[in-house]
Amino acid sequence: MTDLIRLTAAETAAKVATGEVSAVEVAQAHLDRIAEVDGGEHGGVHAFLHVDTDGALAAAKAIDGKRAAGEELGPLAGVPLAMKDVVVTRGLPTTSGSKILQGWIPPYDATITTRIKDAGIVMLGKTNMDEFAMGSSTENSAYGPTRNPWDQTKIPGGSSGGSSAAVAAFEAPLSIGTDTGGSIRQPAAVTGIVGHKPTYGAVSRYGLIAFSSSLDQAGPFARTVLDTALLYEAIAGHDPLDSTSLDVPVAPVVAAAREGANGDLAGVKVGVIRELGGEGYEPGVTAAFEAAVATLKGLGAEIVEVSCHSFDYALAAYYLIAPSECSSNLARFDAVRYGLRVGDDGNNSLEDVMSLTREAGFGPEVKRRIMIGTYALSSGYYDAYYGQAQKVRRLIADDFNKAFAQVDVLVSPTAPTVAFGIGEVLDPLTMYKNDLATLPASLAGVPAISVPAGLSEGLPVGLQIIAPTLQDDRCFKVAAAFESASPFPEIPS
Amino acid sequence: MTFATVEDVLAKYEPTFGLETHVELNTKSKMFCGCSTDFGGEPNTRTCPTCLGLPGALPAVNALAIESTIKIGLALNCSIATWCRFARKNYFYPDMPKNFQTSQYDEPLCFDGYLDVEVDGVTHRVGIERVHMEEDTGKNTHVGGATGRIHGADYSLVDFNRAGIPLIEIVTKPVPGTGALAPEVAKAYVTALRDILRTLGVSDVRMEQGSLRCDVNTSLAPLGATEWGTRTETKNVNSLRSVERAVRSEMIRQAGLLDAGQRILQETRHFQETTGETRPGRSKEEATDYRHFPELDLVPVAPAPEWVEQIRANLPELPAARRARLVESLGVSADDLQQMSNAGVVELVGETVEAGAPVAEARNWWQGYLTQQANAKEVETAELNITPAHVARVIALVADGTLSTALARQAVDGVLETGDDVDAVIAAKGLKKVSDTGALEAAADAAIAADPDAAQKIRDGKVAAVGALVGQVMKATRGQADAAAVREILLRKLGQA
């Protein structure tokens, strides 16, 4: 039975569709796996903050019922999924990794939650994350860190570290993450799985607890490129509830993944971004990346080097824009309507209760960013900080446009290092540098995918493939071709 | 010196005023979600994740609200932005679900217009700075404590039914140079604005329900000064009359301070309906930094020029144009027009005439009986619960003999009470001339028998004495008889016909 956890999502769906296995058996196998390896705050992978055993089994039973009734099932029906706790789920605790939302049970579903349920995908539970998606290691969770299945003394990346670890640890074949500056791609890279940050606006943000509205984007994790594509097609597409959702056809990523699996990249021009490599990148990461570029060349791709000078300013711009937006987005956590309330003893004023609640409910990184953002938006500083950062953002988009006039996709290492030790990086600036390679695509809103590209010091390295806006299928074609030529390292069980 | 009147103030100071008017649109749903905008309702029943500011919820713009705002902008001679954004105004308050208000900041949808208003036959142009969209807040109720305010309250209740209702803010440019007329021009502006909004059909414009709210800015500068004086912002100005009183009261108060060598604090003040004075609120000098920045959860508003032109082409006839047209069709003298204007009934008379009534009859009703009724009720004549169509129908029924003058007034009273159709009121009240000759004959005989002295005088030729007997018959028939017919019957019976 434990073999069920090793299947790909596509294989699982096929077996469920034919009745070879039941969705309930699949769900139970994964619930058993979670019970076996996930542990909790003090040990184990700790990918999950909340496991919804009853809900998962009920959803699986419904799929089996539909099959028995002869109803048509979707391409991922009966496949289990782990949901990042930043996504709102009706009736299931949703904390965004924060104490301030402890105990809140949402009365509504995010659009992607609805789409996942409609697709017959079985939600196992909610995954751990850096508080409000702010971090690169999942150490900023208010509920304790998640541990990397490759080495449980290491971080699983962040902020979607629970979702990446759950897939890498065979607790789920699919998971949902969100990426604001690299929070899908970097965890995918350091746990040796596939993670896709879609074009900004391709996936609805309705029901994603906002960190930085102009950057946040939900996307899929899986262990194969095809599974990742299947999940993307289940969640993507226009949503009238999200004004920034693009009303365009969904990029045909499943077809692109199947096409790429042929391993033919003849005629594809790949640009290596000079600024995303070299100094600041570990030698083992650089070596794995160079080998990956050689593999792409071997598949027929034409390799050119491109320069995007503005990328050097991406980190500075990002750490003004994201905190500015979060300072406003997180203002709603005020103890009035939901979540934590501290000091409401009849002696404290309303303002005192708000302050005490926010003091107790937010962790240090969240407070740091709220303060930076509040300062950057304040009267007299707006132009110098937020305004200037927006200009840098336009320059970065311009650099992408120029580069994509020359090449079909751009590549870089996903992260400058492999997974580091839990508790090892204490300085916020050093931590922020984890996002060096992923920030430009976030700031420009273009799609990018991270695929496993071998190991360094026994830990996974990621290859980032970036495509122009709405050309997510290009990411998948190149990723699938690379996967065919460079079998992904077997994740230790 | 102390300043008792506006005229005293003007000897030394020049007033400038400006108005910020908030208008609740009458769209069916809220600005950024599908919740109902109906007034009232159990607290927190007209809410959803978006207008409650639940984690993860996002706004989506109500397209009808954009269209209504463009209509207002066009009616106020504004330019319409081809591209503009919403912004977030960040501040913490429990009636603000997100702790920021989604508003427009430096990119209003409509800007740079004007509205001409007339006071005593002179036209004053009030510049319009901007017309922008925002969302209303929820409503706090502070329970316990002496003041009804948050400080000292035992607890507070928040109702979010109002949160997210579309609000339009219309901001004038500073209006200088109106001198002693400043209070009246301010009132005339709000009146004209209200009439335009009503004509456009975009708002209920009911000041008493808060769907039209005014903040009045007032400042004084010494005569001949080249810079504005420090302004105060007066809130809680909830009627047209209060607009005028608020400007007047601030002019007099500020002049007293300036004359005593004191400076004016830039502050928010609250108008007191009972005293007609203003009281200080929070000081603007310690106001919060709202940290405005673009609302990135909404895409920019970019109305296509063709759409704007289509809206312009379909605007209804605006009050000023309608008034000009009605004046022309009435064909009255300048003096008569001034009288009607002073009574505030030009449009009402014009529309009554358009509905088929003769000018003289229409004026007679509106400037006579209906103005008296309005005065008795302490409302504007235009605010009476009766329309020109009602009045035209009454006039027609008098003309064809269906109603006597006395019955016509009873019919009008019925309309004022109920707002029903004239014919429905007549049916309900049984207002019909008594044309049953038998009944009138009997009533006449009874009147003659009851007053033998009067009867004898008439028989002796003193025909004028018949008035008393006619009055008796009319009383007996509760005014429903035709007085002329009664008179004829009485005279016949007493040998004088």
Q: What is the pLDDT of residues B337-391, one digit of tens each?
A: 878 877 888 889 988 998 999 999 999 999 999 999 998 988 888 888 899 999 9
Is A205 within 8 Å of B58 when comparing Cβ atoms? Answer: yes
Closest in A242, A333, A382 to B58, CB measured:
A242
Nearest to A411 by CA among A479, A364, A351: A479
Which A residues 226-265 touch B at CB under 8 Å? 240-244
Quick check: A418 and A434 in contact, CB under 8 A?
A: no
Residue B96, token pair as written in the block: 């603000």
Instruction: Spell out which residues of chain A touch residue B57, defining contact as CB-CB under 8 Å.
Output: 108, 206-207
* B417-441: b (≥16 Cβ within 10 Å) or e: eeeeebeebbeeeebebbeeeeebe
Residue B234, token pair as written in the block: 């007066």
Domain spans, chain B: 6-311, 317-429, 437-493
Three-state secondary structure of chain B: CCCCCHHHHHCCEEEEEEEEEEEECCCCECCCCCCECCCCCCCCCCCCCCCCCCCCCCCCCCHHHHHHHHHHHHHCCCEECCCECCEEEECCCCCCCCCEEEECCCCCCEEEEEEEEEECCEEEEEEEEEEEEEECCCEEEEECCCCCCCCCCCEEEEECCCCCCEEEEEEECCEECCHHHHHHHHHHHHHHHHHHHHHHCCCCCCHHHCCEEEEEEEEEEECCCCCCCCCEEEEEECCHHHHHHHHHHHHHHHHHHHHCCCCCCCEEEEECCCCCCEEEEEEHHHCCCCCCEECCCCCCECCCHHHHHHHHHCCCCCHHHHHHHHHHHHCCCHHHHHHHHHHCCHHHHHHHHHCCCCHHHHHHHHHHHHHHHHHHHCCCHHHCCCCHHHHHHHHHHHHCCCCCHHHHHHHHHHHHHHCCCHHHHHHHHCCCCECCHHHHHHHHHHHHHHCHHHHHHHHCCCHHHHHHHHHHHHHHCCCCECHHHHHHHHHHHCCCC
Q: What is the pLDDT of residue A8?
A: 97
Quick check: A218 and A235 in contact, CB under 8 A?
A: yes
A214 touches chain B (CB under 8 A): yes
Q: What is the pLDDT of residue A90?
A: 98
Q: At what angle do helices B437-450 and B483-493 cross, to 10 degrees?
A: 60
Q: What is the pLDDT of residue A472?
A: 98
Which residue(s) pair with B275 in the sheet?
A: none
Q: Taking the CB of residue A43, how many other CB atoms lie within 10 A of it?
A: 11
Closest residue, chain A, to B150 (C-alpha): A350
The pTM assigned to this predicted structure is 0.87
Mutate to test the interface with B, among A211, A243, A442 (most CBs of B within 10 A): A243
Instruction: Spell out which residues of chain B touch residue A240, defining contact as CB-CB under 8 Å.
Output: 60
Which A residues 60-119 touch B at CB under 8 Å? 87-88, 94, 96, 101, 104, 106-108, 110
Taking 70 as the pLDDT cut, the residues of chain B under it are 1, 148, 282-287, 434-436, 497
pLDDT tens digits, B88-98 = 999 999 999 99
Instruction: Spell out which residues of chain B touch residue A87, defining contact as CB-CB under 8 Å.
Output: 56
B52 touches chain A (CB under 8 A): yes
Residue B391, token pair as written in the block: 């009045």
Quick check: B113 and B153 in contact, CB under 8 A?
A: no
Quick check: B166 and B31 in contact, CB under 8 A?
A: yes
3-state secondary structure of A120: coil
Closest in B99, B293, B299 to A332, CB measured:
B99
Alpha carbon dihedral B28, B29, B31, B35, in 10-degree steps, equals: 150
Q: What is the pLDDT of residue B282?
A: 61
Nearest to A205 by CA among B85, B59, B87, B300: B59
Strand A409-413 versus strand A269-273 pairing type? parallel
Q: What is the pLDDT of residue A1?
A: 46
Mutate to test the interface with B, among A242, A337, A374 (most CBs of B within 10 A): A337
Is B56 within 8 Å of A378 when comparing Cβ atoms? Answer: no
A387 touches chain B (CB under 8 A): no
Which B residues 160-189 touch A at CB under 8 Å? none
Q: What is the pLDDT of residue B483?
A: 80
B29 touches chain A (CB under 8 A): no
Nearest to A210 by CA among B44, B167, B100: B100
A207 touches chain B (CB under 8 A): yes
Hunting for tokens 């071709």 — which residue is that?
A481
CA distance B269 to A232: 56
Q: What are phi and psi of B231, to 5 degrees?
A: -100, 155
Distances B138 to A327, B44, B309 between C-alpha atoms, Å: 22, 9, 35
Closest residue, chain B, to A346 (C-alpha): B154
Q: What's the ipTM?
A: 0.95
Taking 70 as the pLDDT cut, the residues of chain A under it are 1-2, 493
Taking domain B437-493, whether its CATH number is 3.30.70 is answered by no
> Among all residues of A, which ones are annotated catalytic?
84, 159, 183
Residue B124, token pair as written in the block: 């004053």
Q: What is the pLDDT of residue B46?
A: 95
3-state secondary structure of A4: helix
Mutate to test the interface with A, among B30, B51, B58 (most CBs of A within 10 A): B58
